[in-house]
Structures are given as C-alpha cells and as structure tokens.
Structure 1
Amino acid sequence: MLSIGELARLAGVTVKTVRFYSDRGLLPEADRSSGGHRRYDPQALDRLQLIRSLRALDLPVPEVGRVLDTAADPAEPDGPGALDSALEDAVARQLTQLGSQLTALRWREAALRLLHECTPAQRAERLRLIGGITTPPSTAVLARFWRLVLPARLPTGLTSSIVDAAVPQPPADPAPGQVLAFARLTQLVSGVSNACLAARQPEPWHRPALLYDGLREAYELALPDLTAGHTPAQGDGAAVDCFVAAHARSLDQQDTPAFRRSLTTLLTRTADPVMTQYWSLAADLTTPPTLGAAHTWLHAALDATLAKSGAGA
C-alpha cells in the first residue's frame, strides 16, 4: 500500500494534487491507516498517470471521470477496449469544443483587425455592429427571418431546404470584411419586425409551394452557368423555361410570350430592396452563387430571351 506522499512522489505531483483527484472520486483510496491517513494500492499510480495525461489534453474533470468509470466498469467484458472507446469519444468531443473555441478566437481577431484598420469616423459604427453578433457567430436570427418571410403554406421540408440554402454559414476563419458583412446582415434582418412584414405588399402567387419548388429546380439548372461565369444571354434555355414554368403554375397561367413579358414586369415591380441588400451581403460570406444571384441571373436571362425573340420577330 502507498501513502498519499509516496504516491505523489512516484507520480511526480504534489500531495495536494493527489488529494484533489481523490476528493473528486477519480482516484479512490484503498484503505485508511489507524491514524486516518489515506492508503492507495499500486494500481493507483497507473490510474493517476492516466488522469494526468487526460488532463494534459485539457479534458474537463467530469469527462476524465467518465473515461475512467467506463474502463473500470465490471459490466464491460473488455476493459482496455472499453477504455479506448471511451477515450475516443472524449477526444472527439474535446476536438469539437476546441474547434468552436478556435473559431471564436478567429472571429475576435478579425473583428479587432476590422476596428484597427478602419478610419476613426468608421470606428463607432463598426464597434456597434460587432457588438450585435456573438463569437462564434450564430445564424439563428437569419433563419428566423426567413421563416417569417416565407409563405406559411409551404411544406415543412421545402421551407427547411430554402432556409438552409438562404442562410450563409459563417466562415471558420473570416476576413475582417466578412465579419463586417455578417454584422450588417444580422442588423438588416433584426430591423425587419413582424409589423414590417405584415405591411409588405402581398405576393401575387396563388400557389407558393409550386413556385418555390419550381424555383429550386430552376436555380439548380442555372448553377453550372453561374459557376462558369456565363452571361444570362449565354445561359441554358432549360433553366429559363423552368423558371418561367414555376411562376406560370403558381399563377394558374400558361407559358406564352405574353406571359413572359408580363412576368418580367411583375418581377421588376415586386423586387424587394431589403432582399437585394441581403443577397449582396450574403455573397461576401459564401463561395457558391447565392439564391439571390441565381434569381437575378434567371430574370436577366428571361429578358435576354424576350429581346432575342423581339429581334427575331
């Protein structure tokens, strides 16, 4: 049996450290002397060294306890295997937590650079904008905005897919300009209240589910042209046809030249400046073309087809 001092000396730690882990149940004592002093069996040295190794990885004490309890569980037929599995799970959780902490630090660094590199006249506004976001940043307010904007009659799965595509994911290692764009985007949607949404002009689409489902397909068809940098006039006609068909179905109309002319007028008239600003800011945060960029490109492609057919006539 080892005294607490002997165990501490063999492990290269202080008596206070051994007592700390013992008091928290990580290093159970085997017995007490007649004078009430703690006694440990020789296996306690290996356990203490394992505890130190896990703590060196910055695993929290409760996490260390879970690993040790799994390894010591008599119901586990394979002690070493159980320990390895528990350790793997603990390390995975720690990596996830560390990744979140590193992302938060990178966002703080980029925010500090943003303030450091701006002019004195810009600093007060930018400081206020940065104060409106968390680190690491949360997209919850953006998702809430979209769920308020989208028609209530949309199927749940379609709404979720649109929200996922419309909400830009903050980069893990942002540039200062991206921090500014995300802060401005958060401010933009936070300023759109329920009252403002209720006062907006109602959408003319009779069957919004058909519209948004068709638009999703049209955007996917247009993506290769957008990625390749093709102009709307060079685009695939199938994407434009799908774009027009989605609107026609939602309005219970046929895709005719007259409908196409009225559609481009309607799209211009119902363009929302808030959405225009939203997509402009979102473009600074994401690499693939945004849904807004796809919509603008398809509208322009529709205009190009109308101009071409008018020239042909």
Structure 2
Amino acid sequence: MEYTAYLSRLSSNGTAPALDGTDTLPVPSGKTYEPLLAIAFLYGAILLSYTSKSFTSFRQNHKALVATHAISNLVELAQFYTLPFRYPDAESLVPVSSVLLCLLQCQTNFALVRRLKRGNPGIVRTTYQGAGILRIAIIIPAYLLQSRTLYHDAIVMIHAFVYARFIIYLFTVKQTFPNDEISEVESLNTEKDKLVIRKLNEVRGSNKSLVTVTQTYTAGVYGAALIVVGHQEDENMRKYGMMVFLITMGVLLRLEQWVGDIMDGYLQGRDLKTLKQRLAWVLYQIGLCRISTLVQMDKSLSRRGEGIKKE
C-alpha cells in the first residue's frame, strides 16, 4: 500500500519523500477535528430530538439495545475521524476495534429491526439488513488489506442515519405539498377514483401531501441507503457497490418469503425435520422472515413456552 511505502522510504532516508503523481496519500500537517465536530453536531441534534420527543415511547423494551447501537456508531465515527490513517504516526490504517464496533453495530441493527413495522416493512427492514451485511462485507476486507478507501466506504454508510432523517423532514414539511400540486389526482371523476381520493384525504389529515407517514419513512430509509452506497470511494465499490446492494436486498426479500412459507407450515403443526427447514428456523431467529409470519411465530412460541419441535 502507498502508506506502507511512504513509511519505508521515510525510515530509510530519514526525510519525507516528495509526493509525485503516483503518490495518492496526502500527509496531513496536523490533527483536524472539524469533521468530528460537524458530525457531533448533526448526530447530537438528531439524538437530542429523539430523546426529548419519542425515546420514552420508541422501542420501550429495547432502550439498552438502542443505546448500545447509538454509542457504537458514535465511537466508530469518532475513531475514524481522529486516529486512523489520517496521521503519519498511525500504526494501523484500520484498527481491529473498528471491525469489532462494526460487528456490534450491525448485530444491534438486526435485533432492532427484527420486528420493525414502521414504513413498509418489506422494504425498510430489508434495507437496514442489507446495509448491515454490506458494511460487514466491506470492513473485513478493509482490515485484512489495511485499505483506507474500504475503511472510508464502511464508515460512510453510517451517515445514512442523518440522510434518512433529512429526507423524512423534507417530506413532512406541509408547505412543500400545496393542494394545487395534486390536481392530476383530483381531476379523476369515476366513483372508484372518488373513493380512493376520499381515503387519501382521510390518511393525509392536516398534511396537504399525498405522502403518508408510511411512505415517508420508507422513502427516507431506502433513499438514504442509496445515497451512502453512492458515496463509495473504492474503485470496485464505485463500479459495483450499487448493484451488490440491490442484489443483496433482492436475495434477502426472497429469503424472507422462503422462511415465511416454512414457518407458516410450522404454525400449522408441521415438524422441522430437514436441513433446509432448520436453516429457515435460524434465519427466522435473526429476523430474516416475513414480518407477519415472524410476529405470529413469536406469539405462538411465547404461548407454548417451547422451542423448535422435536421429531
């Protein structure tokens, strides 16, 4: 890597070599904390809003999990923007602690969205899960290869948290959607169309937009994921990152349907005997299951007080 080459030349010659066109690693003149301060302000403002308005009612049974998830994110960001690879005396471009923090953040992410019903669960849950899997798939090679670009690509995906809230804010500003912007819908005059319009008016309430809360949350989460995937710096990630993310989501959606079908059979009294069925059980446990079936399974197992059926 260019950073290793730079250090070897520095130790052998005693002076820092001049950077030419082939050296792509900038040597910072000193520590800069401006990015960290900006991120602390943005994340702090959003988290403060969550704490003051909805934290007491949001995931009431998972406060410790939410706190762990948020803290692991913030520590990982702080580590990236203060110590690794930014300074010539750094011992490692990607410390092992960043890998562990990423794994912790993704594990809590999966746990939090396991029964998430906000937005369109089929899209929202899968987006969170797909992004978590992609982060792990990036951070591990980043550590093994000590790649600063892959490290950046894994970290930048955390910023989807801010992008999602910004998109949601834009979609919930009432003045953004005046009545005259939906004339193409109101011009429809069949009885069926009128019924649809009445239902939409009931859903939107005081918000003059046709964008419901469900649609807003779904657009925010999914849109934010696409934005951060588009911010990748590694050459391969720039070329294939978006495609990999979309394929990952497609695979997860198919898995959820497959696992849901098998768990439906279990609810009807079928035993889980084959290897595929037991694999489906494991996927259900971590949340890769159709949400409607997952909730039914949880309730059924809670009532029965038992685990997987034995032969």
TM more than 0.5:
no
TM superposition score category, shorter chain reference: under 0.3
Q: Given the two structures, how large is their TM-score scaled by the length of structure 1?
A: 0.24
Query: Which protein is bigger by CA-based radius of gyration?
Result: 1
User: Higher RCO, 1 or 2 (CA under 8 Å, sep at least 6)?
Assistant: 2
Q: Given the two structures, how large is their TM-score scaled by the length of structure 2?
A: 0.24
